[in-house]
Structure 1
Amino acid sequence: MNIRYALLPLAGLLCFSAYAAQYDAVVVPQQDGQSQHYTKIAQAVAAAKTSGKEHYKIYIKDGVYNEKFEINAPGVELIGQDRDKTVIEYNAASGMSRPDGKHWGTTGSFVVRVNANDVVLKNLTVKNSFDYPTNDEKPKSDPTKIRSSQAVAFEINQKAQHVKVENVVMDGYQDTLFVKAGSTSYFKDCVVAGNVDFIFGGGTAVFDHCKVIARKRTIPTSPMGYITAPSTDISQPYGLVFFHSEIVKEQGVPKDSFGLGRPWHPTRTFKDGRYADPNAIGATLYIDSYLGDHLFGWDKMSGWTKDHERQWFYPDKDARFLGYHNYGPGASSIKGAHKLSDSQAKGITIEKILGGDWFKA
């Protein structure tokens, strides 16, 4: 017995030595006796910022981490032990109160937010655990009902460049993934799940061999949701682009219940007032992707004029919604001017969209 217990610390040290050879920090779900291990991912991320290192690799062992944090240092890499067993989750919705009593708001409801360049996430799950279905079922008269149910899981902030996300699950309902204007990001072999506008924003983002899962609403509504809500500035040639991806649904989602996208014109403050941004001509493009039978095509979306009146934006003239060489029962929903020809599609590559081959590193 004494020999057995004497070997345990040595085994632990050897294990850490193996990690230390590859990683700058290791995160474990609970303290294991190793002073070099963190129990919070946010602690390891904070250490990266003060390390002075150009690249900082953090290994996260399997477990559920109830955390909400931002990545502010460039070159940080978060690597989970197992995609489905390394889970970062937090319960925050736009209409919920922060510790200071104010509401989170959509942009503040994130679980993980990237504010820096050259950040990498691999092999983990980011989940906003806000109970959207239960909240959805509550009557409007219920004082506990959250009126603003947007709940972001993963957010890429303005001007964060070269963000690479590989084999990561982003789980939520409304507004799961937010890629803000000015950012560039690459998603490979990822899963994004949600219902209302759950991939949205003005950034340039490529989804390569990803699975996008439409989730059902507990209260019957039509449409049930929208896959994308881009707010791409007219000066940007590309917005949300899907290559070789699967746009599928969970059980219980009916046919023709989800829009491929709708044009989001965010309300902004201009010199002559506050109103829907006329330059947000959102861009979504599906190429060589499987489109399920729950998809009915593109839809309109409303915004506000400076006179506080509702204004509608339409997919034919207020957005850039396109498709090329898609297949599956929903592929026929892309037609007419929204369907690229061979000549128009020629030369559209991931390198061209993202401005180089940095995503291959």
Structure 2
Amino acid sequence: MELFPRSMTFLLILFISYFFCLSKATDCGGKDVSNTITVGQDGKVTFRTIQAAIDSVKSNNDRWVKIHIKAGTYIEKVQIPIEKPCIILEGEGSQRTIISFSNDDKTKNSAIFISSPPNIVLSDITFKNSYNVDNISAQIFPAVAATIYGDKSFILRCSFLGYQDTLFDAYGRHYYKDCYIQGEVDFIFGGGQAYFENCLLNATGRNKDLPGFVTAQGRKFSNSSSGFVFEGGSLVGNGKVNLGRAWKAYSRVIFHKTNFSSVVSPEGWNSFGRTGQEISKITYAEVDCKGPGADTSKRVPWIKKLSPSQLEEFSLASFINKDSWLDNLPTIS
């Protein structure tokens, strides 16, 4: 496994600032869906490709538009541009509706799915970057399955398949529920403020002597709201994997009531070379976790112990839903 640098440009910072302003101005007109577009590979459908359906949505959209994607494997790269919020991408089950493409490049360019605007819902779809998944003999490079930039994104029953850098949770508040995420090297990473509820994490190690990393969380500042919280769910796999390493100085990851298989390494966490800064800056915690990998007796000595009040700060309501945006989403069956 090889490490690759990840740099953020000034243009990206401007881009992020813009969509945060956009997220404050857009409420999508309530819970009602104003229009439904159907995508499929045969039969009576509106479009044959997912990207064509997204392109048909008007710029500065301010009402929920559902794009229903019929079962099938769609070999395409898909992007929701920043000027098109209030979109629901709905599949027919993550085992049946699959977006797949093979692409290796720098992290920010390799994603086969990119969602940039606020107020996006994804449900029942698999996002697969097949580069490191199907080509197991090839050299490993970053190959992102999905990048989520936009604030107030809800992802339900989706699967993300990759090996290195599978899911780039970049910026904003994101809620992942009942999802499947597969990889080995930093396979959930970024500077987002994300809550993962009842998700299945599968560490697919190829080198049993070299543990991978589930997370590489990128919280940069002490006052940043960024962080990853895992509530319930399970971590399985083969070989060994660390729970996380500190991509940025104030990296923050909490596991609460998660079931850990024996795939978790005894030390559990890695400071990524930030020796001497672990206690003062990094927040890594495991609370009430279970399973053969939940033994913390040999963990790094600087993992945090959270009081009940501190743990409450990382609840769904407190961590990402203080303004009740999740309560204003359309009903997803």
Question: Corresponding residue for 1:357?
Answer: 324
1:49 positional shift: 3.2
Residues 238 and 328 (structure 1 numbering): CA distance in 2 closer, same or farther, change over 3 Å?
farther
* 2:294 is the alignment partner of 1:331: yes
- Equivalent residue for 1:242, pick from 230, 241, 244: 230
Q: Structure with the greater relative contact order (CA < 8 A, sep ≥ 6): 1 or 2?
A: 2
**How many residues are aligned here?**
287
Question: Corresponding residue for 2:23?
Answer: none
1:246-285 counterparts in 2 under 5 A? Answer: 246-249=234-237, 253-254=238-239, 257-265=240-248, 280-285=249-254
Question: Corresponding residue for 1:130?
Answer: 131
1:174-253 counterparts in 2 under 5 A? Answer: 174-181=164-171, 183-217=172-206, 219-223=207-211, 225-234=212-221, 235-249=223-237, 253=238
Structure 1 Cα separation of the partners of residues 181 and 130 of structure 2 = 14
| Unaligned stretches of 5+ residues in structure 1 | 1-20, 95-104, 139-144, 266-279, 303-310
Structure 2 Cα separation of the partners of residues 43 and 313 of structure 1 = 51
* 2:56 is the alignment partner of 1:89: no
Amino acid at match of 2:224: Q
Q: Are 2:269 and 2:300, in contact at CA under 8 Å, matched by a contact in 1?
A: no
Q: Deviations over 1:95-151 (max 9, x none)?
A: xxxxxxxxxx1111011111101000001111111135745x45xxxxxx4xx6011
Q: Are 1:25 and 1:44, in contact at CA under 8 Å, matched by a contact in 2?
A: yes
* 2:18 is the alignment partner of 1:28: no
Amino acid at match of 1:28: G
TM-score, reference length from structure 2: 0.79
Q: Are 2:35 and 2:66, in contact at CA under 8 Å, matched by a contact in 1?
A: yes
Amino acid at match of 2:67: I
1:236 positional shift: 1.8
Structure 2 Cα separation of the partners of residues 133 and 112 of structure 1 = 18
1:341 positional shift: 3.1
Structure 2 Cα separation of the partners of residues 125 and 246 of structure 1 = 19
* 2:260 is the alignment partner of 1:291: yes
Amino acid at match of 1:245: G
1:343 positional shift: 4.2
Question: Corresponding residue for 1:47?
Answer: 56
Question: Corresponding residue for 1:77?
Answer: 88
* 2:80 is the alignment partner of 1:68: no
Question: Corresponding residue for 1:5?
Answer: none
1:184 positional shift: 1.1
Q: Are 1:288 and 1:325, in contact at CA under 8 Å, matched by a contact in 2?
A: yes
Structure 2 Cα separation of the partners of residues 58 and 134 of structure 1 = 31
Q: Deviations over 1:292-333 (max 9, x none)?
A: 21112111314xxxxxxxx76864455211121111112223
Amino acid at match of 1:26: T
Deviates more, 1:234-243 or 1:281-290: 234-243
Amino acid at match of 2:188: I
SS at match of 1:107: helix
SS at match of 1:344: helix
Q: Deviations over 1:147-197 (max 9, x none)?
A: x6011001012xx1100000000111100000113x110001111110000
Structure 2 Cα separation of the partners of residues 203 and 351 of structure 1 = 17
| Unaligned stretches of 5+ residues in structure 2 | 1-32
1:308-347 counterparts in 2 under 5 A? Answer: 315-333=278-296, 337-347=303-313
Question: Corresponding residue for 2:11?
Answer: none
* 2:138 is the alignment partner of 1:150: no
Q: Deviations over 1:42-66 (max 9, x none)?
A: 0111111349452110100000001
Q: Deviations over 1:37-94 (max 9, x none)?
A: 2000001111113494521101000000011121121000000012211000110112
* 2:125 is the alignment partner of 1:120: no
Amino acid at match of 1:338: K
Question: Which has the greater radius of gyration?
Answer: 1
1:340 positional shift: 1.9
Residues 300 and 288 (structure 1 numbering): CA distance in 2 closer, same or farther, change over 3 Å?
same
SS at match of 1:227: strand
Q: Are 2:34 and 2:64, in contact at CA under 8 Å, matched by a contact in 1?
A: no
SS at match of 2:295: helix
Structure 1 Cα separation of the partners of residues 263 and 217 of structure 2 = 20
Q: Deviations over 1:187-240 (max 9, x none)?
A: 0111111000000011100001111111121x45412x1000001132224401
**Cα RMSD between the aligned structures?**
2.3
Structure 1 Cα separation of the partners of residues 49 and 112 of structure 2 = 14
SS at match of 1:187: strand
Q: Are 2:229 and 2:314, in contact at CA under 8 Å, matched by a contact in 1?
A: no
